[in-house]
């Protein structure tokens, strides 16, 4: 237990516009002086890992300063990226490799056409080129895949592609929808999700790389089902605020910002972390109660969060008034 990791949204800027992206994209960058202060304060509380994300982190104007600050404070950092600008940031990754823990490339299909349909022409090839560069420079990488109706039949091909490209692993997650239509068209049913999670377990024992599932996997066990609920991972959005989770921060079309617990522009990290722990415990307790009452939605932890924290309009109805009064 205790603080271990920061997930830092460096910017809301992105060069792509993926059809299902849950981020409210824009042109905000995290203030670099604020970031350095946060990294220092969180380090004294025990944080030793950072995941840099966005938007597209490679577009952050002070990426160099951010990585070097992480390195000089003794952090190990990971980067989540669409891979488009990888050749440009490679020298920086290479020169901070002492601190570089992992690179995650987001991939939507093992097929160029299907991936590019979601992420734009040329995007698949850029990721493949980036994996070649990782191999040449000895940089560790994995793929992240958001499963949905279009690609859930491809899990084995995706895992084999990750292995063939020299990746250390592949992590699947479930889609968190941002519109009712998208929910209808792209989300997997509860049964389809469980089948996909079983397939990931099978692939993990048959393919020679680590095949895993994110915290979005079905789970009927009460308690800390994710690093945020355990108080271990704190997310910072590109405005310098602490959010309960990077999946909830700046959620496209959200009704409110219940995930935001503190503004680090005006509060120090230690105080923000205390607020964070309170919100994490509150949300965890809420889910535990819902599980005890047999609310099916609570078995899908991230879906439970986006519904109860009102990130979607239509899903509010999934909790009846009666149950809502209790959770």
Ligand X SMILES: C[S@@+](CC[C@H](N)C(=O)[O-])C[C@H]1O[C@@H](n2cnc3c(N)ncnc32)[C@H](O)[C@@H]1O
- The residue ranges that bind ligand SF4 (CB under 6 A) are 14, 16-18, 21, 23, 54-56, 82, 215, 226, 228-229, 244-245, 247-248, 301-302, 305
Tell me if 58 contacts ligand X by CB under 6 A: no
Q: Which of 11, 28, 62, 106 binds ligand X (CB under 6 A)?
A: 106
**With the CA atoms of 311, 314, 316 and 319 taken in that order, what torsion angle do they form, in degrees rounded to the nearest 10?**
-140
| Eight-class DSSP state of 251 | B
Q: How far apart are CA 59 and CA 44, in angstroms?
A: 29
Least distance from ligand SF4 to the Cβ atom of residue 225, Å: 6
Q: Which of 173, 212, 230, 271 binds ligand X (CB under 6 A)?
A: 173
Q: Which does 146 bind (CB under 5 to 8 A by kind): ligand X, ligand SF4, none?
A: ligand X
SS3 (DSSP) at 4? coil
- Among candidates 51, 159, 34, which has minimal Cα distance to 104? 51
Least distance from ligand X to the Cβ atom of residue 131, Å: 14
Least distance from ligand X to the Cβ atom of residue 240, Å: 18
In this complex, which beta carbon is closest to ligand SF4, that of residue 16 or of residue 133? 16
Least distance from ligand SF4 to the Cβ atom of residue 19, Å: 9
Report yes or no: 70 and 38 within 8 Å, Cβ to Cβ.
Answer: no
Tell me if 167 contacts ligand X by CB under 6 A: no
Least distance from ligand X to the Cβ atom of residue 151, Å: 11
Tell me if 53 contacts ligand X by CB under 6 A: yes
Pick the piece of the chain touching ligand X (CB under 6 A) from 13-21, 44-52, 189-197, 283-291.
Answer: 13-21
Query: How many C-beta neighbours within 10 Å does residue 230 have?
Result: 15
Q: Residue 191 is encoded by which pair of tokens? A: 């049964």
Q: Residue 303 is encoded by which pair of tokens? A: 């879906």
Total residues at the site for ligand X (CB under 6 A)?
18
Tell me if 233 contacts ligand X by CB under 6 A: no
3-state SS, 138-205, equals CCCEEEEEEECCCCHHHHHHHHHHHHHCCCCEEEEEECCCCCHHHHHHHCCCHHHHHHHHHHHHHHHH
Parallel, antiparallel, or unpaired: how do β-strands 241-243 and 260-263 relate? antiparallel
Least distance from ligand X to the Cβ atom of residue 21, Å: 4
Q: Which does 53 bind (CB under 5 to 8 A by kind): ligand X, ligand SF4, none?
A: ligand X
SS3 (DSSP) at 233? strand
């Amino acid at each position: 237990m205790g603080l271990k990791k920061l997930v830092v949204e460096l910017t809301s800027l992105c060069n792509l516009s993926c059809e299902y992206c849950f981020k409210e994209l824009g042109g905000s960058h995290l203030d670099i002086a604020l970031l350095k202060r946060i990294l220092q304060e969180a380090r004294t509380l025990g944080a030793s890992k950072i995941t840099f994300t966005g938007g597209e982190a490679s577009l952050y104007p002070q990426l160099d300063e951010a990585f070097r600050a992480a390195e000089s404070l003794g952090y190990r950092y990971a980067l989540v990226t669409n891979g488009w600008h990888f050749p440009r940031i490679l020298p920086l990754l290479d020169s901070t490799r002492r601190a570089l823990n992992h690179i995650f490339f987001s991939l939507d299909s093992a097929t160029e056409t299907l991936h590019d349909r979601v992420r734009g022409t040329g995007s698949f090839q850029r990721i493949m080129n980036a994996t070649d560069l990782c191999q040449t420079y000895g940089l560790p990488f994995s793929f992240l895949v958001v499963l949905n109706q279009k690609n859930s039949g491809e899990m084995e091909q995706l895992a084999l592609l990750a292995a063939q490209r020299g990746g250390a692993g592949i992590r699947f997650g479930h889609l968190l929808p941002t519109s009712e239509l998208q929910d209808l068209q792209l989300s997997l049913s509860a049964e389809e999700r469980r089948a996909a999670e079983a397939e990931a377990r099978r692939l993990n024992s048959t393919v020679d790389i680590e095949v895993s599932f994110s915290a979005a996997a079905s789970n009927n066990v009460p308690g800390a089902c994710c690093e945020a609920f355990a108080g271990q991972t704190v997310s910072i959005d590109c405005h310098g605020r602490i959010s309960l989770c990077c999946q909830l921060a700046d959620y496209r079309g959200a009704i409110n910002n219940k995930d935001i617990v503190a503004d680090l522009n005006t509060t120090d990290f230690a105080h923000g972390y205390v607020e964070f722990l309170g919100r994490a415990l509150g949300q965890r307790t809420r889910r535990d109660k819902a599980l005890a009452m047999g609310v099916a939605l609570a078995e899908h932890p991230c879906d439970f969060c986006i519904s109860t924290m009102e990130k979607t309009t239509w899903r509010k109805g999934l909790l009846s008034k009666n149950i809502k009064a209790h959770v």
